[in-house]
Amino acid sequence: MKRWFGKPAPAPEIAVLMVCMGNICRSPTAEAMLRAKLAAAGLAARVHVDSAGTHGYHVGDPPDARAQRHARTRGVDLSALRARRVVEGDFDRFDLVLAMDEDNLAELQRLGPADHPNRPRLLLEFASRAAAREVPDPYFGGPEGFEHVLDLIEDACDGLVDHLRGRLEGAA
């Protein structure tokens, strides 16, 4: 626990989980991008952000080197992140569970309790400039795919920060 002048730092008030299939491209990019935007907005201490995959293909692995390289050009560092798989307890620990695409949203709905109040949603619901509903998987594509993913995620994270700010102000 962090301490500030001998007092424990307050616990985050909202928790957000970003989810894709393997947790090595899109969801870690979204996690790190949201963290950077929350820090710039002065909200980092109030929101906990994590990411996970619906499948366990890459558990323990760092994000894809291409995702890291492209994110770094925008000042976003993914290097400390490691892939993990979604677990049932995530539905209780996180206030927002955000999928990158419809397939992973369906998998989250299958994995999570049917009556849970924190129903999974699509990340791009928070985008204001993108017409897309899904963040496509850039894994088998070239550099332009990673840049497109960053554009979509950055747009959605801008809207998500506004949404979170509103929730935090409403709770105060």
Residues catalogued as catalytic: 20, 26, 137
Question: What are the CA-CA distances from residue 76 to residues 24, 29, 36, 68, 153 (Å)?
Answer: 15, 8, 7, 8, 12
Could you tell me if 157 and 30 are in contact, meaning their C-beta atoms sit under 8 angstroms apart?
A: yes
136/149 Cα distance (integer angstroms): 7
> What 3-state class would DSSP assign to 148?
helix
Question: What are the CA-CA distances from residue 42 to residues 8, 94, 134 (Å)?
Answer: 19, 20, 28
Measured over the CA atoms of residue 143, residue 61, residue 116 and residue 107, the dihedral's sign is: positive
